[in-house]
Amino acid sequence: MTADRYNAREAEPRWQKVWDERGIFRTRNDDPRPKYYVLEMFPYPSGRIHMGHVRNYTMGDVLARHMRAKGYNVLHPMGWDAFGMPAENAAMERKVHPKAWTYENIGTMKKQLQSMGLSLDWNRELATCDPAYYKHQQKMFLDFLAAGLVERRQSKVNWDPVDQTVLANEQVIDGRGWRSNALVEQRELTQWFFRITAYSEELLAALDTLERWPEKVRLMQRNWIGRSEGLLVRFALDSATTPSRETELKIFTTRHDTLFGARFMAIAPDHPLATAAARKDPALAAFIAECKRHGTAQEIVETAEKKGYDTGIKAIHPFDPSWKLPVYVANFILMDYGTGAIFGCPAHDQRDLDFVNRYGLGVTPVVCPADVDPASFVVTDTAYDGDGRMINSRFLDGMSVPEAKEEVARRLEGERRGNAPVGERQVNFRLRDWGISRQRYWGCPIPVVHCEACGVVPVPEKDLPVVLPEDVTFDRPGNPLDRHPTWKHVACPECGKPARRETDTMDTFVDSSWYFVRFTDPWNADAPTDRAAADAWLPVDQYIGGIEHAILHLLYSRFFTRAMRATRHVGLDEPFAGLFTQGMVVHETYQRQDGSYAMPAEVKIEGAADARRATLTATGEEVKIGSIEKMSKSKRNTVDPDDIIGSYGADVARWFMLSDSPPERDVIWTEEGVQGAWRFVQRLWRLVQEAVAACGETTGVAGDDSAALAIRKAAHRALANVSEDIAKLRFNRCVAHVYELSNALQAGLASAKGRGASPDTRVALREATEILVQLFQPMMPHLAEECWAALGHDRLAAEAPWPQADATLLTEETLTLPVQVNGKKRADVTVPRDAANSDIEAAVLQLDAVRRALDGKAPKKIIVVPQRIVNVVA
RNA sequence: GCCCCUGUGGCGGAAUGGUAGACGCGCCUGACUCAAAAUCAGGUGGCCGCAAGGUCGUGCUGGUUCGAGUCCGGCCAGGGGCACCA
């Protein structure tokens, strides 16, 4: 064998240059072909790309190249999610300006992405930290403000009392600030909010229309929005016990059927009634302060031990004026949800039960399961939240849960106190408005001015963008914009008197909530969008990214698109018609004796299976092979894409990322896997050269010589399978089909060599080779160009139209059906494709295995599933 | 704590409710070679059997079905999200 090795290092940059020079991935908005918009979540420019990016962008690229071959005008852009905290952290730690750091990272990462051979239209590149981008974001903020979609109000933040700064949840570790180590407190600030809750109902309902979204993402969003139908109940307060003149406590409940099981009331630590009561009760004030002494993360609140403080206030049961319930301040009640107050029914809610067990408040079960005797039904440690009949509930006794809910709602609606009904049916959402204020420098400035005389004044459009000042310092914590000597001082746009700029910047989720729209006309200096371009390109046909964005980024983008519609920047509601969430890239970990981690590149692996051991290449020290985890800097189990591309080539990295694991699941990066991919690249190259040698420049249509027919069938079956699987993003199966075809082609070539190929076979072999190259072109585009050129083509493989599978080659004349007896496979039967069921049954009854099983008796039943299986029930 | 997902050979995985293990990795045998690597050909879930074949087998457990990896109930284990990481 004299075949050359395929030299990826030489070939890949060569083909990348050809693609670039011919501009074949540049997309025009006036192209008349049908559009297809494929987008991968744009990266944060953290420094270098990681394997997760390689996986994500390879998947999108396969789809983009495939759709291009299918004749679509494909939009496949790339940009940078360039604002965010890491740039400020770098500034503090390494004394480098966030802007310089960010753009340097972008430069590095762009080069890395380009070395992957992605079919991107780099002409549309954008960075969210560019004033040319955020100018339009500021304009939309003002439009949203005018449309009533922006509000300003108080909300809680994590406050570091030592650094005097606001902390992200990520910066709070075990309740302490990450730099100062001080105990974090909750603090109220006035902040800007986008009124996403104005669209709660719509965002929920429209989930049903997102048919090409994973069901689990829709479910997660549904739960996040959290619509619940319940009852608002106004409990009267015993005036003798209230701190000042409070007369009632409003609660929201979805379990009004259990009102007779009530044992206590609970209010949030920041509920106004709690604040009022604390003014007269120092111990309560201390308890509330204690509750605020941890961060704002919900996880912390809900996993904390359930604690309460009895305020001494009594609430009066709405159905019994003589029944008084104690009002507790409790650490597990959230002011953000409902009214920040509940009634506690321990028998049917686990949290309430834990609470009464701690404070000895007792339990009354009011819903009895169907199969339990009401007289003996008790609840002690486990609350019962199932269905049943009402007990211990006076006029509700004997009713079902829904009947009881209806009866309670009806009675309390009809009863009035003051001039309002005691009960009111209400739909409540868990979804909260989106707080976008950040007390940070490296973000999009919020374009408003605070004037003592005029209040909050929007920056006039002609003055946009409000540009970040560059002369800032990071020697101290806190917001550099706020302490900048001149930037915030500005004349009020309305009255001209000295005023102050807003120094908060926007949440970086705002930046990523509309970049996909901007890509449709990124050159537009006058407006955020060109309506014609945006409406023609959107929605994104296929969006691909990590599952970690299942809720926030995707929900915010859905809201933002609606807000842009309301302010006439786009004409649609849903930005992403198809969504795919890919899994993570994971790798083994290696740990030294001293517990520190070693990187895969530093380690040598020997042996197999149980005998595998790892040693440090440099010193020979043995390291422990640890669990497989998400690639991360802290575990040092990362593999640098540059190293892989440098030694094996981009095609190998791409191929391995697509092989084996289903794209929605995690993929384990292994050295063996990469080498397997590399060997396959070489094998394909040899195969194509052999095929060229065997078939020459043969063209024409193959006849049905039996060898030729077998090859053609294999090729067209692979073609049909790959076409179907790419469309469904089942790339691991595409890989398997390419392997199958190359196996079939290799066998075909070997026997053709032995016997001397007929003209028909030569034509079939050439056709199969061309199909093979086209099938892997989206996945390994450089190798495909090299092979395509070797096959004598002048045009690029990237520009070749997708071949059409010949349907007549996909069906067989006879079928071999498995035969089961009582559900267990015992034999096969081969029948003509269109055999009648009765003929199949007759053939099956002749089989030895079936006769043995029936032992002379007639079968009870024969089930023939056409084209599938036969089951004989003996 | 709440919400969501996943669990199949030695390993990654395949399987519209219809032959469990496609395809790959690894391993074994053979060819080529002085030898090794590379490459090529064949084999490869466990147990019993010379074989034909049988039998067990998709985290555990119960159910629906002619038939369950797939559907339903209960559990166990691992992972993702929880509103200021992106």
Q: A450-486 pLDDT, tens per residue?
A: 999 999 999 999 999 999 999 999 988 889 999 999 9
Q: Tell me the H-state helices in A756-845.
A: 759-776, 781-790, 837-845
Estimate in Å the CA A684 to C1' B38 gap, whole number: 15
pLDDT reading at A735 higher than 60: yes
A735 beta carbon to strand B: under 7 Å: yes
Helices A706-727 and A759-776 cross at an angle (nearest 10°) of 10
A296 beta carbon to strand B: under 7 Å: yes
Q: What six digits make up the tokens of A584? A: 């993570």
In chain A, positions 643-672 with C-beta closer than 7 Å to nucleic chain B are 659-662, 665-668, 670, 672
A411 beta carbon to strand B: under 7 Å: no
Mean pLDDT of A773-790: 97
The kind and range of the H/E element at A9 are helix A8-22
Confidence band of A703 (pLDDT split at 50, 70, 90): low
Confidence band of A2 (pLDDT split at 50, 70, 90): very low
Q: Any long-range contacts for A43-46 (C-beta under 8 Å, 24+ apart)?
A: A43/A80, A43/A81, A43/A109, A44/A80, A44/A81, A44/A82, A44/A84, A44/A86, A45/A80, A45/A81, A45/A82, A45/A102, A45/A105, A45/A106, A45/A109, A45/A127, A46/A86, A46/A105
Query: Which are the contacts of A199, defined by CB distance < 8 A and separation ≥ 6?
Result: A559, A562
- ipTM rounded to 2 decimals: 0.94
- pLDDT for A800: 97
Mean pLDDT of A679-695: 92
A611 beta carbon to strand B: under 7 Å: no
A387 beta carbon to strand B: under 7 Å: no
How far is residue A573 from each of residues A206, A410, A568, A577, measured CA to CA in Å? 9, 38, 11, 10
Q: Which of A265-274, A491-500, A592-601, A649-658 has the lowest mean pLDDT?
A: A592-601
A189 beta carbon to strand B: under 7 Å: yes
- Provide the strand spans (E) within A579-659: 579-582, 585-591, 597-598, 603-606, 613-616, 622-630
**DSSP-based three-state secondary structure for A417:** strand
pLDDT reading at A768 higher than 90: yes
**DSSP-based three-state secondary structure for A470:** coil
Euclidean distance between CA atoms A185 and A294, whole angstroms:
6
- Using an 8 Å Cβ cutoff, are A539 and A575 in contact? yes
Percent over 70 (pLDDT), chain A: 98
Confidence band of A381 (pLDDT split at 50, 70, 90): confident
Peptide bond into A539 cis (omega under 30): yes
Name the pTM for this structure.
0.93
Higher pLDDT, A603 or A314: A314
Q: What six digits make up the tokens of A372? A: 């339990």
pLDDT tens, position by position, A198-210: 999 999 999 989 9
pLDDT tens, position by position, A34-78: 999 999 999 999 999 999 999 999 999 999 999 999 999 999 999
- pLDDT for A693: 87
> Which residue's entry shows tokens 């590095």?
A108
Neighbour-count burial for A187-207, b at 16+ CB within 10 Å, e otherwise:
eeeebbbbbbbbbbeebbeeb
Confidence band of A91 (pLDDT split at 50, 70, 90): very high
A214 beta carbon to strand B: under 7 Å: no
Euclidean distance between CA atoms A231 and A318, whole angstroms:
13
**Phi, psi angle pair for A716, to nearest 5°:** -75, -30
Instruction: Name the nucleotide with the smallest C1'–CA separation from A665.
Output: B6
Torsion over CA: A341, A347, A351, A357 (sign): positive
DSSP-derived secondary structure letter, A522? T
- pLDDT for A291: 87
pLDDT reading at A701 higher than 70: no
- Provide the strand spans (E) within A208-357: 227-237, 248-253, 264-267, 308-317, 320-330, 341-344
Mean pLDDT of A433-444: 95
Query: Per DSSP, what are the bridge partners of residue A604?
Result: A615
pLDDT reading at A306 higher than 60: yes
- Using an 8 Å Cβ cutoff, are A212 and A578 in contact? yes
A830 beta carbon to strand B: under 7 Å: no
Estimate in Å the CA A666 to C1' B11 gap, whole number: 15
**DSSP-based three-state secondary structure for A215:** helix
Confidence band of A611 (pLDDT split at 50, 70, 90): low
* Nucleotides on strand B lying under 7 Å from protein C-beta: 1-6, 10-16, 18-20, 22-27, 38-41, 54-55, 66-68, 79-86
Query: Which are the contacts of A206, defined by CB distance < 8 A and separation ≥ 6?
Result: A558, A573, A574
How far is residue A247 from each of residues A57, A79, A244, A316, measured CA to CA in Å? 60, 57, 9, 10
pLDDT tens, position by position, A830-867: 888 888 888 898 888 888 888 888 777 888 889 998 88
pLDDT tens, position by position, A643-671: 999 999 999 999 999 998 899 988 888 88
Which residue type is seen at A759? P
